[in-house]
Amino acid sequence: SQQGEEDPQALSIQEGENATMNCSYKTSINNLQWYRQNSGRGLVHLILIRSNEREKHSGRLRVTLDTSKKSSSLLITASRAADTASYFCATARYSTLTFGKGTMLLVSP
């Protein structure tokens, strides 16, 4: 399986701090995506980074990809209580995605 593995499993921070989540995967990919899931709801796409890219930004999100190490990181800067959610990386190969187990982020006011 090329399932990604997120690290840490859970992260608790204060508002205003930065949150960093990591993802490792096993096989070659076309792209890697990050999704957010609020408690008990569906997933929402956050950002995509292609296999030939090393870094990408979107608002307070910064994603890096190291294909030699088969790893990616998601940085959320200046976190807010509303960022509290589970975050999943998903690796794309052809038409399907393989999701990791997720990182639960708790941002306290």
Partner 1 sequence: DVKVTQSSRYLVKRTGEKVFLECVQDMDHENMFWYRQDPGLGLRLIYFSYDVKMKEKGDIPEGYSVSREKKERFSLILESASTNQTSMYLCASNVPGPEQYFGPGTRLTVT
Q: Which residues bind partner 1 (CB under 8 A)?
A: 1, 3, 30-31, 33, 35, 40-45, 48, 88, 92, 95-102
Give the residue with the Cβ less far from partner 1, 52 or 95: 95
Q: Report, in Å, the least distance between residue 47 CB and partner 1.
A: 10
Residue of 103, 100, 105, 106 lying closest to 33 (CA atoms): 100
Residue pair 89/33 in contact by the 8 Å Cβ criterion: yes
Rg (CA), the chain: 13
Give the residue with the Cβ less far from partner 1, 17 or 48: 48
Q: Report, in Å, the least distance between residue 50 CB and partner 1.
A: 9
From first CA to last CA, the distance across the chain in angstroms is 38
Give the residue with the Cβ less far from partner 1, 34 or 79: 34
Give the residue with the Cβ less far from partner 1, 4 or 84: 4
Q: Report, in Å, the least distance between residue 62 CB and partner 1.
A: 18
Chain centroid offset of residue 24 CA: 10
Q: Report, in Å, the least distance between residue 90 CB and partner 1.
A: 8
* Residue 29 backbone zone (phi > 0: left; psi -120 to 50: alpha; other: beta): beta
